[in-house]
């Protein structure tokens, strides 16, 4: 996603304009939210388009990733489909024998995952 002109816009302007988003099908200037959970497949059960399941990627997520990457001056960004998937990614990147500091009160699923994960490493 690229800006229409080269002059530097403020962060708040970039956010407000969603990086000049313009839906080619509808002309909408606000990125749509995809409400589907699954996508159609062909006779060989191959996805017809780039997306095959809501949590693994969709147009809404793709646009948000592009906007965040632009706002952060990054090449790419990655959004997770859930807090648990974000937690898993962080845990998987830790080296063996890493120490994890967490709050006493937190989502039980994350705490259980951390306790179980640390036993496996």
pTM: 0.55
- Domain assignment present for residue 62? The answer is yes
- Predicted confidence at residue 75, as pLDDT, reads 96
Q: Do both 91 and 112 map to the same domain? A: yes
Name the pLDDT band for 69 (thresholds 50, 70, 90): very high
53: left (phi over 0), alpha (psi -120 to 50) or beta: beta
Which residues span the domain enclosing 111?
83-120
- Domain assignment present for residue 53? The answer is yes
Torsion, Cα 107 108 111 113, to 10 degrees, reads: -110
pLDDT surpassing 80 at residue 110: yes
Higher pLDDT, 87 or 56: 87
The domain boundary, picked from 36, 51, 71, lies at: 71
Q: Do both 20 and 50 map to the same domain? A: yes
Q: Give residue-wise pLDDT tens across range 34-55.
A: 776 677 788 888 877 776 666 6
Higher pLDDT, 14 or 6: 14
């Amino acid at each position: 996603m690229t800006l229409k002109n080269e002059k530097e816009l403020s962060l708040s302007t970039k956010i407000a304009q969603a990086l000049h988003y313009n839906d080619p099908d509808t002309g909408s200037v606000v990125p749509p939210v995809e409400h589907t959970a699954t996508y159609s497949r062909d006779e060989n059960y191959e996805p017809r388009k780039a997306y095959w399941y809501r949590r693994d990627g969709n147009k809404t997520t793709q646009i948000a990733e592009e906007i965040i990457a632009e706002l952060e001056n990054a090449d790419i960004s990655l959004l997770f489909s859930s807090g648990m998937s974000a937690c898993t990614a962080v845990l998987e990147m830790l080296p063996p024998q890493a120490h994890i500091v967490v709050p006493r009160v937190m989502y039980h699923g994350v705490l259980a995952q951390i306790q179980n994960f640390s036993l496996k490493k």
